[in-house]
Amino acid sequence: MSITLTPSRGRVLCSTGALIGRPNGRDFTLLDACAGKIDCDGYEFMMYDTWYDRLADLRAYMRGFPAPIPVFHVEKSVGDCISRNEDGDTEHTLSNFRINCALAAEFGAELLVLHLWGGLPSDRDIAHNIAVYADLRSIADAHGLLLTVENVVCNHADPMTHLHTLADTYPDIAFTFDTKMAAFHDQLPRLYEQKAERLIPHIRHMHINDYGGGYLDWSNLRTLHIGDGHIDFAPLFAFLKEHAYSGDFTVEATSFDASGTIHFDKLNESIRTLRRFLTTEPGGTRA
């Protein structure tokens, strides 16, 4: 079965990863208290590797979550494990991916965000990662989920090259496009080039994050709020409107400090800024 879901509603989502992380113990029970303080249309749920041992608790807790979760971010070590590709890695990662898909379906998600490569091995053997996508896609389809591959950073080639190869290999593939990841590789302007326009129909979800570093600046690979970096978002939103993009947008910017305290005002300002971009026509007028 090939899933052809079209989650195209232009919703503004908040990543749960912007709210909970190591400083606050990756405590998913914080989410209820957060839900009423964020001006978003729903959430992108970020799965963490430390939760595989707490699946029953996680499932029980999320059954009562008061907000929609249309997007589920697959736990990142899935891509790391595919890239490492040692004995048993592929079987292990497919097993974990099934768990992620089952959770996503239970939480009511429509779309998965996947890091198809990652960790130190990254894209060193990208042909292997691309081949494993077929198995991942089959599992996602069986759960009724639209699988999207994110343009995550690489340490051998670059994500845009891999997106083109994936589109050539799997003509109906879907992508999540992350602005920070693109800026890290100085590839955001390349999205506007004629050659890259073929990727637009494949982009079904957007991560809107700022970036403050330079080209391949590993020391500055932080997820910033809109306006805290140097990305020029106006051309991006003009381009998306020109090409009638109508998918959802997720704000992922880290919104907790070293003590684990969540700064809702900063997060809501990012969401308001994103909404202003979405309601402003090219040239500066409001829609």
pLDDT for the residue numbered 194: 79
Does pLDDT of 6 surpass 50? no
pLDDT for the residue numbered 281: 67
pTM for this model (two decimals): 0.94
Summarised one tens digit per residue, pLDDT across range 207-256 is 999 999 999 999 999 999 999 999 999 999 999 999 999 899 999 999 99
Residue 4's pLDDT band (cuts 50, 70, 90):
very low
What average pLDDT does range 90-103 have in this prediction?
97
What average pLDDT does range 91-110 have in this prediction?
98
Query: What distance in Å separates the CA atoms of residue 262 and residue 257, rounded to the nearest whole number?
Result: 7
User: What percentage of the chain carries pLDDT values higher than 70?
Assistant: 94
pLDDT for the residue numbered 100: 98
What average pLDDT does range 32-56 have in this prediction?
96
What average pLDDT does range 77-81 have in this prediction?
97
Summarised one tens digit per residue, pLDDT across range 145-197 is 999 999 999 999 999 999 999 999 999 999 999 999 999 999 999 999 878 88
Q: How do beta strands 203-207 and 111-114 pair? A: unpaired
pLDDT for the residue numbered 42: 97
Mean pLDDT of the chain: 94
Residue 201's pLDDT band (cuts 50, 70, 90):
very high
Does pLDDT of 283 surpass 70? no
26 dihedral zone (left: phi>0; alpha: psi -120 to 50; beta): left
pLDDT for the residue numbered 3: 33
Query: Between 7 and 106, whose confidence is greater?
Result: 106
What average pLDDT does range 49-60 have in this prediction?
98
pLDDT for the residue numbered 285: 55
The domains found in the chain, sorted by start residue, are: 12-278 (3.20.20.150)
What average pLDDT does range 59-87 have in this prediction?
97
